[in-house]
Structure 1
Amino acid sequence: MSSLWILVLSVFCVTMGQGFDLGPIVRIAQCKIMCIKTHSTDGTCDRSFNPAENICNDCWHNCDSLETQWEATKSICEGDENLRCEGCQTACSYRTTRPEEEYLPSSLPAPTKGPVKLGRYDVAVELHRVGGAWKPYGYYCGLRQPSVRPDNWILVILQDGIRHYSWEEWTPTLESLKDGPLVEATLSWRDVDDQLKRQRDVEQKRFNDRVRQSYLEKYGEKVLVEWRERKDRPIPEEIFRRFFFRRRNEDELQFDMGFRDSYPVFKNQASSVRPTMEKQSYVVSWEPETGGLMGNQVVDTRTAQISLLPGTKYLVRIASNDGPGSFSIEIDTRPKSVQVWRIKKKLENFYPWAAVTGVMSAALVIMMALIVRRVIKSKTVVDEEEV
């Protein structure tokens, strides 16, 4: 049975092509979980705040080096050096016994909205996109929880699974549902870039509002004082510029840095954070809402048709081996729900102005017909009188 599963997985990986392997990142995080469980006293594994975390801290850092630089660092797992380093022993034990498996992003469940939540033994991995590829930026545990931002992707490695968080909140569109022995659902996700642009625009507006509010709280009183000193004269442009635009003194520079740490400024509305999705393979993934047998279909376009069992609620998403993929949508294949969906779809495609135009056109035709009929009738009466 295990051989059959390996064969299926191999075929699946070949079909998808070369993807981004999360395996090394997951293994490092799992090693760090062992460090926390074995050596940590407060769950932080950080000796800069607690000297009692020295052993855990050594173990934490050895997890990285043993996974990424095994040939150069394997000596710490041998002889007297290993006996003298208690933190090394835990990291070495994990390194020499852990299974080495490929873990593709398409294997992940649907992403989750922030904020990030960590349990006592959970480890979060923050990834940033560098040169078109996702690279680990930092590992976190305990109270050090990273924030979900437009330029990052966060994996949370649990003892029994993986959860991940993405700022890019996009979903596929259900285009049609057809009844039958199996319900045929047609999906599309051609408007991903438009969805993300709208999201960036909304977040940019919120960020700008927060900046204005903070500047109002910090400098508003000064502006009002200057305005009162000028009595009834209008506030000159100079004061407005000083109020709404930043002055690069040391105090405001620190203020700006604080804002950057709390929320990112959108540097570019284009797809600089996320590369184009045109030339990719996607995995359409679906599973019953209550759990059960999952289904996957690999496609290389932004449309797909999947077959679902009737009478079931499904969660459907689009996964990719290049990143977090889409959030899930619900597809209900119960007969009444399919009918309701069709009615809603027709109403969505119903344009009031088109109906008004049709009514006006019909009224105009009727009026013209009445006028023509009246003219013909009048002409007939005149002809009869002449006779």
Structure 2
Amino acid sequence: MTDARAHLTELALALGFEVTGWADAAPRADELGVYQGWLDSGRQAGMDYLTRQLPRRTDLSSSLPGVGSVLVLGVSHAFAPQPVPAGGVRLGRVARYAWTPDYHAQLEPLLERLRLEAASLGVRARGYVDHGPILERALAGRAFPGWQGKSGMLLSTTLGAFTTLAVLLTDLPAPEPAPLHPDRCGTCTRCIAACPTNAIGPDRLIDARLCLSALSIEHRGPLPWELRPSLGEWLFGCDLCSEVCPWSVRAGPLARLFVPDPELAHPDLRRFFGTSEREFQRQFSHTAFSRPRRKGMARNAVNVAGNLRLPEGLEILRLASSDPAWEVREAAAWAWGQWQNVAEVERLLNDPVAEVAGAARRVLDSGG
């Protein structure tokens, strides 16, 4: 069995994974207690599927009967800055992991290759990227050198915080537990200070109700009014806590398996308007932008235009004012208010959707 683990580890590294390690598939009581407490406190926001999946996350045999050990795999998405393509309206920032085509689609064939190799060794296996009911960060903290930083992210002295995780569940016996990596955060609190909404708790857990990443990707409907300014220039996701981490700074650009695309790092915001959801998915289904869907990306683009108040953003606001999605028009009312453009806000007072007209009235009543 040791030979099987070594063989699969060697293959994973050959396929391009940058860090690997083995962990016992049985969850630890302290890990489950922390996760249950996070759910009980409501910090998962509207991601109710996390609560529904709890029984599966606490029992990995529901995903692979007879599971004994897990091969945890890490890939860096610490990309170097990308050039801004010519043309278009290219405002806002995108989280680094979304600079490359959907990492699920890139990693799943590699996991399948590992599964087939495991089968040739008489080992049953099943791979997951992070959309499976797995507590990947907890497993990773036990599998290879790393620890849960004060930001809640898995940190590594070699990869920093920009690490994408995947796992291969196997029916190999549980490995001997490895010593936990020492906490290297020390007295540093740069990640906490960098978070504009104080989403990082003292228990190193994230409040998704405040996290800019969760708001711009997972949140459906209008963004919370009071948090819109805090989103600043973030169009999709947020990297602030990971960017300022000294271990990320020390690691520098590392990504080798993933290749960044400047058109994803700096998308033309106009592409989120004047198109159907079907056409949007045709263009972006291979990217992380498909998660919030067209109207979510358009809403975010409007929020960025409202916060930055740069001349090129005016085209986005004009498109948004007549967008078929009321959530986008509602965002436009707020954004025009940031520009102090009373005439455009007043036009939206006549919108047939109450939420849009209400947003316009709220802007006018508040003086902008």
TM over 0.5: no
| TM-score normalized with structure 1 length | 0.20
Higher strand share: 1
- Greater gyration radius: 1
